[in-house]
Every structure is written in C-alpha cells, then in structure tokens.
Amino acid sequence: MNHSTPLSPRLLGHLSPVRHRVLTTAQLRGHGVTTADTTERCRPDGPWQRILPGVILLRPGPPTPEERLHAALLYTARTTAGIPAQPGSGVPRASRPPTDALITGLAALALHGFGSAPPLVSLDTIDVLVPRLRRLRSTGCVRIVRTTTLPDPTFVAGVPVAPVARALADAVAELGDAAAVRELLAEAVRRGHCEPRSVVEELTAARLLGRPHVADAVDSLVAAGRTTAENRLYRMVYEHGLPDPVWNVDLRLPGGPHLGGVDAYWPGQAVAVELDTRAPCQDADAARSEYARKREHLERLGITVVRVTPRGLRDAMEQQAAVVRTALMASNDRDPAAYVMVLPRS
C-alpha cells in the first residue's frame, strides 16, 4: 500500500465521517496500516498528520473543531471509541462504551450552548476531565483536568461532556477576567442550565471562592438566582390560580420577638412559603439548624411553612402549586393559628 492509497471503505464503513479522518495508531494497525507506513504518511509534506500522541488525522490542513474533540477523546479515553454514536444513529445508549474522559471547561460550555463562551473554533485548548490516577499529561491542544470522582456525562451531539456546574468550575479555574467569569456564571442561571447551589458547590470544592473576582461573581450569581426563583414563584401563584398572598414580609409576635421573613404569606390560612436559596458555605450546618429552628417555631404557632426550591419551581411548578393549594385547603381543619403581625420585610 503506497501513501496515496486510501483506507478500505469496506473496513471503515461502520464509522462516522469524523472517524474516517481521525484514528489512533492502534486502530490503523487494526486496519492493516503498519507503523512504518503511518510514519511515512505523517512526514511534513505527507497526506496525514499526527495531531496528538498516537492520534492521526488522515488529511492535511488544520483540524476542524469536531476533529479536535474526537482526537482529544481518543488520546485520553482508555477505550479507542472516541466520540460515542450520535443520537438516532441506531446504536442504543446502553451499547455505548464506558466513558472515562469528559470534555470540560470552556469547550464543554461551548457545546452546552453558552453564548458567553468562546466558540470551539477559537479555542487553542480543550480541557478533558479524567480520573485522578490516570497517567496522562497535557499536550498539544489537550489540557488534562483531574478529579477524584468522574461525574456522569452529559452527551451533547454525541460528545461526552461534563455537567454544566463542573464545566463552569473548570473554566473559571483558568480565567482571570472578572467580567468573563461573571457573565459565564450569570448565563448558567439565567438560561436555566443549573441552579446557583450546584455552581457554588463546585466552586467551593475547587477552592476557587478565595479568589476575589470569583467571590464577587458568586455574590451576583446568588442574587440573580434568587431573583429568577422569585419570578417563578410569582408565576406559580398566578398561573395556577392560587389566592393572592402578601409578598416578602416579616412575621412578628405582638410585643414579642421577630419570627423571621417569608416570601409569601396567606394570613387568613396561616400558610407561609419560603424559598430555599441558601448557597453552600462553611457554616452550612449552622444555616440548616437556623432554618429548622425558624420553621419549628412558626409551626408551633400554627403556621404551616411550605419550603420550595428554585429547582422545584423550574422543573415541577405544577406539583409545587399543588402542595401550596393543599396547605391552604387544610387550614380549615386546623386549630386557629396564633395572631402574628405582618410587616414589610426590611
């Protein structure tokens, strides 16, 4: 076989187009291409090129973004499958090979559809998340990111990608631009990719909250997440026909202590709704205890407290509305609640 002879279409007919163009040296040997022939074809003026250790692009010229992604996965994955079968390709999800390398960082965010992330074609580096003990090194266009526990992948156009919150943390770890960090985090919440809590958990685990520009962006993120959740709470009440509550009020016993603020309150039924938008922090246990004490105190006074989460409002608004409606209807069967003062939240 001379260097201009193409690989057999019969042998490669089961592969997607990108798999025709990017193969490992082991795959080439399986197709009868010797190491010497691969080396000859990859000479400076040859028809092929070695774009990563052990990974060959079977054409000259710059690789496309898809070819670079496929090459990065071929280089990092234990299997030689690279990009799994495309959805609808006839290969069932259960038959996909195990995934032990995920695209992460800015490349993953671009795949997830982030407008504030650079397009794949402009990225010099593709971050790949692998288990901590894998013996791999960053090289060429691939930067190795290690993790103790590999998250379950999200498949975007057939590419195994880290979940948004983890991809954000890996991207932020490499960014010193405060405006870029703030925009990425804001887009994640604004477009419903993930909740602030999951982002903050990943940033905390990556020990990034000590960086002032990251901490400032997280403060803005939490505030934006709360605003989004409040808007969904308003929609839930009005779209699902619940009676009008009083919004964002403090409850206080007459002449007594402050009982705490709630996001919505129905005085006639003594039902309160509280949005749980607490971000994880070092004092998370203390925050949970304080929340529990507040709830127990209100319920001892005969006030029913319904806790709703941003994710619940986003993914299951109808069910959340049903819980609130049930609490309102059940008020007729309860003993009257203690009288409390309802004041604007300060």
Query: Between these two residues, 275 and 144, which has the higher pLDDT value?
Result: 144
Helix, strand or coil for residue 23?
strand
What's the pLDDT at 10?
A: 38
pLDDT at 14: 41
Interval 61-92: pLDDT, tens: 999 999 999 999 999 987 555 554 444 433 34
Q: Which of 131, 39, 22 is nearest to 78 (CA)?
A: 131
Cα(47)–Cα(44) distance, rounded to whole angstroms? 9
Which residue bears the tokens 């990009």?
A: 83
Q: Which two tokens stand for residue 58?
A: 């079977």
User: pLDDT value at position 103?
Assistant: 96
What pLDDT sits at residue 334? 84
SS3 132: coil
pLDDT band at 141 (very low <50, low <70, confident <90, very high): very high
> How does pLDDT run across 212-267, given as a tens digit for each residue?
999 999 988 888 788 888 999 999 999 999 999 999 999 999 987 888 899 999 99
List beta partners, residue 246.
Answer: 265
The pLDDT value recorded for residue 221 is 83
Q: What percent of the chain has pLDDT over 70?
A: 85
**Predicted TM-score (pTM) of this structure:** 0.73
* pLDDT value for 291: 73
**Residue 19: predicted pLDDT:** 63
User: Rounded to whole angstroms, how far apart are CA atoms 251 and 339?
Assistant: 10
Distance CA 289, CA 295 (A): 10
pLDDT digits (tens, 9 = 90+) for 26-64: 999 998 999 999 999 999 999 999 999 999 999 999 999
- Taking only the tens place, the pLDDT of each residue in 90-109 is 334 443 445 789 999 999 99
pLDDT in tens, 245-254: 999 999 999 9
Give the CA radius of gyration of the chain: 27
| Cα–Cα distance list, 224 to 123, 194, 279 (Å) | 28, 12, 12
Band of residue 168 on the pLDDT scale cut at 50, 70, 90: very high
